[in-house]
A and B are shown apart, each in its own frame.
Chain A
Amino acid sequence: EAGVVQSPRYKIIEKKQPVAFWCNPISGHNTLYWYLQNLGQGPELLIRYENEEAVDDSQLPKDRFSAERLKGVDSTLKIQPAELGDSAVYLCASSLERDTEAFFGQGTRLTVV
């Protein structure tokens, strides 16, 4: 069974440019998460979806970040415009339901220069 798939693995962009990340969760998983992780710290939730509904986006900086999960399967996370402080690893995870085991993708390492 395929795990959570993210792309790209690495991205380097100049500040003020847009960037997008893609996530394909484990088949059948209803809950999808986007996290941000800085070096030496635990993940920080950006947004959580249950099917296609964003049920927790309180930590998403909505002035520059947006996310969507069409048809309740794949998801994209976008930053526009990117800032130097956005450099981090962006992790996608999925779980069968909102209280079951979470599985993570390999992450996308974003560097903003």
Chain B
Amino acid sequence: KQEVTQIPAALSVPEGENLVLNCSFTDSAIYNLQWFRQDPGKGLTSLLLIQSSQREQTSGRLNASLDKSSGRSTLYIAASQPGDSATYLCAVRDSNYQLIWGAGTKLIIKP
């Protein structure tokens, strides 16, 4: 059974720092992995989708990597801003086309 883990559960860093969020999964048989952000009381916003054949994807200050063999993905945020404060969730698309979710990392960027 696929399990997705995100560590740490919460992270607080000063504005301007570069940071890395981690996502690990137990079964490498995935179609893709998707990173989302969720603001309090809001829905989920898709940030990046990495196909299983890809190693990384970039969008602006965000860079997501995927190492399928080791069951790991990272989301790198460059030059963090207070507006980046949110909960970040990763989800893998498993062999049954289901999205399997981590519990998220709550990120706080201190001005």
Residues of A near any B CB (own CB < 8 A): 4, 6, 33, 40-43, 45, 48, 56, 91, 93, 98-107, 109
- Contact between A102 and B102, CB atoms less than 8 A apart: no
- Contact between B99 and A102, CB atoms less than 8 A apart: yes
- Contact between A107 and B102, CB atoms less than 8 A apart: no
Check if B31 is an interface residue, CB within 8 A of chain A. yes
List of B residues within 8 angstroms of A101 by Cβ: 34, 46, 49
Closest to B100 in A: A42
- Contact between B104 and A102, CB atoms less than 8 A apart: no
Stretch at the interface among B37-45, B64-72, B77-85: B37-45
Choose among A45, A103, A106, A107 the residue that contacts B98 (Cβ–Cβ < 8 A): A45
Q: How many residues on B have C-beta within 8 angstroms of the other chain's C-beta atoms? A: 23
A107 to B44, CA, bound (A): 9
- Contact between A102 and B97, CB atoms less than 8 A apart: no
List of B residues within 8 angstroms of A104 by Cβ: 36, 43-46
- Contact between A42 and B98, CB atoms less than 8 A apart: no
A43 to B100, CA, bound (A): 9
- Contact between B101 and A102, CB atoms less than 8 A apart: no
List of A residues within 8 angstroms of B96 by Cβ: 56
Contacting residues of chain B (17-62) with chain A, CB-CB under 8 angstroms: 31-32, 34, 36, 41-46, 49
List of A residues within 8 angstroms of B42 by Cβ: 106-107
A103 to B43, CA, bound (A): 9
Choose among B31, B44, B46 the residue that contacts A99 (Cβ–Cβ < 8 A): B31
